[in-house]
Structure 1
Amino acid sequence: MREEIFRRTLIIVVAASFVINIGFSALSPLFPYLILAIKGVLKELPELSVGMIRAHEGAVELGFLTAAFMITRAPTAGAIGFVSDVIGKKRTILLGMALYTASALGFILSNSLLLFIVFRALQGVASGMVWPVAEALLADVSPRWSRGKAISIYASSMMIAQIFGPSLGVAVYKLYVSMEGDGNLIFALKTPIVLLALLSLSSLLTLLSLPSVGGGRVERFGEVVRRLRETPRRAARSLRVMYINGAINGFAMGIIQTVMIVYIIERIVKDPVYIGIFFSIFALLSLPTTLLAGYLSDRFRRRKPFVVFGYLIGRTAFFIIPLIRSYLILLIVGSLISLVFGLSMPAMRALQADLAMEGTRGSVFGLQQLFLNAGTFIGSIVGGYLTKIYAVKKIMILGYTLSGYIVPFWTAGILGFLTTALFIIFVEERGD
């Protein structure tokens, strides 16, 4: 019976994850251009524009949109873990998916950056209700040494969606332009959002079939708190360090999320087709390592080495990116980042599930997301301002003149190495 519930839950969660992530990844190549168009920086189709697109002029707005998502996702993810451990994870996930659909409709109907920020904040609430709880649900129904595989399959559904989504979004945009022309630039750039709304609704309908699972659920908040306090000392210390690392890594990733797309558009390539190809290849190459990492960490019964390896290689790449001017080299370095990200993420999630007490995984996953998203909220705002200030500057280092873009990228890289050191020193795996 438990095995049947595990398989059914895994299939439904993976299917819903795939559908919704197709929609979000379809939007990703066009969304920065949409912000630039609403702001008035972009006045024609990006592939037809002459000269450099001044993408750094929209960096602050892009940063605030990321921040709006994170400022609502952080407390939602932190609180919803406790709530889902009490009221049930299925109800929590369904409500979050309904909010996803509503936010997509809001984007379609709005042309105001202020309203965009409001609907982006609503997406943050939805995200905080769905994905940490879905991971905790999988951890609850999975046998311990199948958790790595389950989380790898779940994460892989996102990666597979992100392989096809960006190209699909660009294809929808190109199809609209070929049929309607460029008379309505803003709506042309919004066409992937229409797709997102339809796929969000489809994902919601899929999740209605999710079984109501009692495992890992407790009756009162007090019981959740009691079990959290009973976490063994070394496991509790490891989890606390992972929370701190989550905040620092979130700050670094907030910077990267803002500066990366601006840098690519302004310094490397401006046609959305190539942006879509970059995102698709990034997801494609992370897929095999995402699948492999969970299986290997289960087989060798070790999680930590996979996380550390991914940390070291991924953070090194942040120092290289602002030196790149070639699209081909960008693809190579981006591929390296995607490979190691796919290796470390499932192992990290499985390690957290191993360390958490039964009945508290929703809370533990939610707290991790709280710290991660709080860091990303601050980092995205800081990243927006750093990008706008330093994008037009030159910096001399050892006689070499480098782009001011090194400031946000290298700041993120240094913080990444700090969290790697903390993880190596203080995080311990749970004994059998």
Structure 2
Amino acid sequence: MSSFFMFLTFYILATAFPLYVKDSLHGNEQQMGLAITIYVIGGVLLRLFSGQWVDRFGKKKMAVIGMIVFLAACLAYFGAKGILLFLIVRFVHGMSYAVASTATSTAASAMIPDSRQGEGMGYFSMFMSIAMVIGPALGLFLWKDKNVNVLLLGVAVIAALSLLFTLLIKLPRREGAVDSSSVAETEAAGPETSGVPVSTGKKRLGLSQFIEPKAVPISLVGFILAFSYSSLSGFMSSFTAEIHQTKVTSYFFVVFAVMIVAFRPVIGKIFDRYKEHYLYYPGIVLFAVGMVVMSQAHSAAMVLISGVVMGIGYGALLPCFQALALKLSPAHRRGSANGTFFLLFDLGYGLGSYFMGMIASYSDYRVMYLVAGLIPLLSVAVYYILHHRHAAKHAVPGQGAKAV
């Protein structure tokens, strides 16, 4: 519930703030994308540290701190009347989101048995998908009278609920012992204590202090997916207005998320029992096809069909990527693994929002969605080279269904 309300806030503002920039600040498509991009830049910068902080100081502690700043940023929008101050608050808001989302995701993974990580993280991320359907529709509803105070009041209440549920989180006792105190004790005792590898000397100053290397390959694939996906939340309402199908916007996100939720139980079990390739390859093709269908849409029916196809594909991909990032990383580096995954995913989303807006400003939304449909196909080569082929080389004979 904590994660749900946080992501609900994210999707409300990701949909409404580009319209705020366009209608109230008279910005163009690039500036509409910047309202999202600056938020993500703040998140990306803190992602470099958020995973390490979660591993070192504790999941719940960092989640509470992140959510407090998250709520404070929502309240600060009331006083951000100029574009410069607005972007500064967006930047800080993105930083708080990075810390809070890394901490809550890591807390969730700590509660799930290792043998059911795919299924458990699938259910956890399902609430993000539910926020994905409610958020854009609620954002459009709150902005229908173009009153920013109504929008911000609703967002502040939702952010407060997110903080409330964060305070109610109860981690397993065994996980609580792995947080700040145990890390400090382990470092003081030396690298051989507790059987947990601890870097010392110059090695701790390297990039691996902030990034979990084993989570990078699958996170790069997530980067490409997010780059393409950014074209939906930021520009969907403008595209449907262009094709004179404004009313279908909310229904698109409903259909998109319903497909994600409907297939989530099956997808989680497939990940835990079989190869992740059975999810990735069909999922990426469906997502790409859905984008191409969107680029050719002239009617509400075609927009909704694209939502069905994309929803199934996206629903198979996101929990698969996040569970893989955790599965491939050491248990004591789960926070860093989550931080690494979200770092690249958010970076893809932020850069995508800007460049998709640039494409739309120089051509039109149809070209933008066509490009967004071709980009995911690039991830096939990245996935095969960095993960599939590597996993096949290191597979242990006789592992049965789980052998790669």
- Counterpart of 1:423 in structure 2: which amino acid? Y
Q: CA deviation at 1:262?
A: 2.9
- 1:422 equivalent in alignment to 2:382: yes
Tell me, yes or no, if structure 1 residue 16 matches structure 2 residue 2: yes
Among 236, 240, 254, the alignment partner of 1:264 is: 240
Q: How many angstroms does 1:113 deviate by?
A: 2.8
Tell me the equivalent position of 1:394: none
Counterpart-to-counterpart distance in 2, 1:205 and 1:301: 38
Q: Please give the residue correspondences for 1:397-416 in structure 2 after superposition, counting only pairs within 5 Å.
A: 405-416=365-376
Q: Gaps (5+ residues) in structure 1? A: 1-14, 41-56, 175-184, 230-235, 392-404
1:113 aligns with 2:83: yes
Map of 2:115 onto structure 1 = 145
CA contact (8 A) 2:125 2:319 kept: yes
Amino acid at match of 2:110: D
Once the two structures are superposed, the pairs formed by residues 14-53 of structure 1 within 5 Å of their partners are: 15-27=1-13, 29-40=15-26
Q: Cα distance 1:25–1:253, how it changes in 2: closer, same or farther (>3 A)?
A: closer
Distance verdict in 2 for CA 1:343–1:365, change over 3 Å: same
1:276 aligns with 2:250: yes
Q: Which amino acid aligns with 2:52?
A: F
- Find the partner of 2:228 among 252, 258, 265: 252
Tell me if structure 1 keeps the 8 A contact 2:136–2:233.
no
Q: Which residue of 1 is the match for residue 209 of structure 2?
A: none
Separation (CA, whole Å) in 1 of partners of 2:197 and 2:90: 31
Partner of 2:101 in structure 1? 131
What do the CA deviations read for 1:217-276 (whole angstroms, capped 9, x no partner)?
4515887763999xxxxxx986332233344344334455544443223224335xx433
Q: Which residue, 314, 327, 332 being the options, matches 2:287?
A: 314
Q: Which residue of structure 1 lines up, in the alignment, with residue 168 of structure 2?
A: 209
Q: 1:242 is matched by which residue type in structure 2?
A: I
Q: C-alpha displacement at 1:198, in angstroms?
A: 0.7
Distance 1:225 1:409 in 2: 46
The answer (yes or no) to whether the contact 2:295–2:368 under 8 Å persists in 1 is no
2:308 aligned residue: 335
Q: 1:238 to 1:25 in 2, by over 3 A?
A: closer
Distance in 2 (CA, whole Å) between partners of 1:90 and 1:319 is: 42
Question: Which residue in 2 is equivalent to 1:181?
Answer: none
Of residues 169, 178, 195, the one that matches 2:154 is 195
Residues 169-208 of structure 1: per-residue CA shift (max 9 Å, x gap): 555566xxxxxxxxxx542x54233111011112212211
Structure 1 residues 54-110: Cα deviation after superposition (integer angstroms, max 9, x where no partner)? xxx631111111110111111212211011100111111111111221121122333
TM-score, structure 2 normalization: 0.81
How far residue 314 of structure 1 moved from its aligned partner, in angstroms, is 0.4
Q: Does the aligned pair in 2 maintain the 1:77–1:369 contact within 8 Å? A: yes
Question: Structure 2: where are the runs of 5+ without partners?
Answer: 205-211, 400-404
Which position in structure 2 is the counterpart of 1:389? 362
The alpha carbon displacement at 1:324 in A equals 0.9
Pair 305,112 (structure 1): closer, same or farther in 2 beyond 3 Å: same
| Equivalent position to 1:365, from 334, 338, 363 | 338
Q: Alpha carbons of 1:224 and 1:307: their partners in 2 closer, same or farther (altered >3 Å)?
A: farther
Distance in structure 2 (CA, Å) of the matches to 1:347 and 1:87:
27
- From 238, 244, 262, the counterpart of 1:288: 262
Alpha-carbon distance, 1:297 to partner? 1.9
Are the equivalent residues in 2 in contact too, given 1:215–1:359 (CA < 8 A)? no
Change (3 A) 1:106 1:68: same
Confirm or deny: 8 A CA contact 1:85 1:224 kept in the other structure: no
Provide Cα deviations, 1:104-153, integer angstroms capped at 9, x if missing partner: 11223333333332222222112211222222222233211221222122
Identical residues among aligned pairs (%): 21
Distance in 2 (CA, whole Å) between partners of 1:317 and 1:204 is: 36
Q: Which amino acid aligns with 1:204?
A: L
**Residue type of the alignment partner of 2:380:** T
SS at match of 1:211: coil
Q: Secondary structure at the match of 1:84?
A: helix
User: 1:51 maps to what in 2?
Assistant: none
Aligned-partner Cα distance in 1 for 2:347–2:132: 25
More deviation, 200-209/85-94? 200-209
Q: CA deviation at 1:356?
A: 0.7
